[in-house]
Amino acid sequence: MKILHVVPTFYPATYWGGPIWSTRAICDGIAALENTELRVLTSDAAGPKISDRVVPPVLPYPVHYARRIAGHCISPGLLARLPGGIQWADVVHVTGTYNMPTLPSFVLARAMGKPVVWSPRGALQATEDWPDAPHQWIKHGFEHIANALRPRDAVLHVTAPQEARQSVRRLGAIARAIIPNAVDVPAAIPHRAASQEKCRLMFLSRLHPKKGLEILIDAVAHLPPEFTLDIYGAGDAAYTKMLQLRAALSNGRIRLHGHVDGAEKAAAFARADLFVLPSHSENFGIVVAEALGHGVPVLTTQATPWQDLNRRGCGRCIDLSRTDLAAEIAALAAGDLAEMGARGRRWVRRDFSTAAMVDAFADLYGDLAGRGFREVLA
């Protein structure tokens, strides 16, 4: 079985957030299966500047990083390789929505009779959830065009039932497969050093208005001085500068650390008492699973698919429009955060394994390659 992944950006371009990690995890797992070949077509975009280019790593499958010349991922080289790549493949997996490779991939796959898996990665959901999402009319137009051009038997990959419902409302009748993202839970987590602070809050994600950071910064200002906030991530320069100016007024209680990966990310989780993601829209929110996997309880919003946090006793999932975020943070901090984190770690280890995700995609690809598909509504 031959699988082609067409993605606007790919590992190690982790500036672009969680989808980079989850897409690589899919590719790593599928490429390791017997009787399976996998290739990736992507751009070399490592960040917002044209000069931000990835250094291609050594991976156990071929990845072509075509040169970006403009925008997020505009790349004539990527377009030039699409026809041959799609002709080679048994199944084409297209990641993304409002970017250059999507429409040409749909047109070519439809013309060549190739089945397509489409992973919007929350893009359709964001314009549904968030009234202030930028360029809404342009995005709606793009969705209509993409929906018209996609192969009729395309399968929409979503990561949670909530994303499935919202995406189908935007696209109409389309087969869908619900396959959650996975995280690698560390076998052991570093010991947390004793802190003189009452509660060390942590935010880690792309710095973007969709993530609700301004609301979190306002909440910290209304909390006692024992509460501090560490912000990790990168984003638009102007928006980041605004956040830095607001942090400068906090008397050192709010700190921006920039982008972190690997050991630095693990160390950041080890220093945190409570992870807060006040997002206006998330299709999955892989960083929530990462925080829980590192034993850190989570406070997030109902615009994410993490409503089970309340039932499982490892955090809270709140209606941001009707809730005082500062009061929720204070209430959680008054509980046993260490025990909440331990419960969350057990949950993620059991239900969000990489092996389960890879098995689900292998079944989906196999069904499509054999021209059969049973809709997954788990």
> What does the domain layout of the chain look like in residue ranges?
2-182+353-369, 199-351
Domain 199-351 of CATH type 3.40.80.10:
no
H-helix or E-strand containing 4? strand 2-6
Q: What Å distances lie between residue 197 and 271, 316, 356, 361, CA to CA? A: 11, 21, 39, 44
What does the pLDDT read at residue 185?
87
The reply to whether domains 2-182+353-369 and 199-351 share a CATH topology is yes
What the block records as the tokens of 39 is 């290739």
Burial class of 132 by CB neighbour count within 10 A (0 to 12, 13 to 18, 19+): exposed
Give the helix ranges, DSSP H, for the chain. Answer: 18-31, 76-88, 102-112, 123-129, 136-149, 161-171, 213-221, 237-248, 262-271, 286-293, 308-312, 325-333, 337-351, 354-369
Measure the CA angle with vertex 73, ends 28 and 87; round to 5°. Answer: 60
What does the pLDDT read at residue 30?
97
What does the pLDDT read at residue 80?
97
Contact (Cβ atoms closer than 8 angstroms) between residue 147 and residue 172: yes
What does the pLDDT read at residue 165?
80
Contact (Cβ atoms closer than 8 angstroms) between residue 110 and residue 103: no
Handedness of CA 343, 278, 21, 106 (dihedral sign): positive
pLDDT by residue for the chain (378 residues), tens digit each? 999 999 999 999 988 877 888 899 999 999 999 999 999 999 999 999 999 999 999 999 999 999 999 998 999 999 999 999 999 999 999 998 888 899 999 999 999 999 999 998 876 655 555 566 666 777 778 888 888 889 988 999 998 888 888 777 778 788 899 998 888 888 888 765 545 567 999 999 999 999 999 999 999 999 999 999 999 999 888 999 999 999 999 999 999 999 998 899 999 999 999 999 999 988 788 899 999 999 999 999 998 989 999 999 999 999 988 889 999 999 999 999 999 999 999 999 988 888 889 999 999 999 999 865 544 433
What does the pLDDT read at residue 378?
37
Give the helix ranges, DSSP H, for 113-235. Answer: 123-129, 136-149, 161-171, 213-221
Q: Which CATH superfamily is domain 2-182+353-369 in?
A: Glycogen Phosphorylase B; (3.40.50.2000)
Handedness of CA 80, 83, 84, 90 (dihedral sign): positive
What the block records as the tokens of 17 is 């957030």
What does the pLDDT read at residue 168?
73
What does the pLDDT read at residue 376?
43
CB atoms within 10 A of CB 219: 23
* pTM for this model (two decimals): 0.77
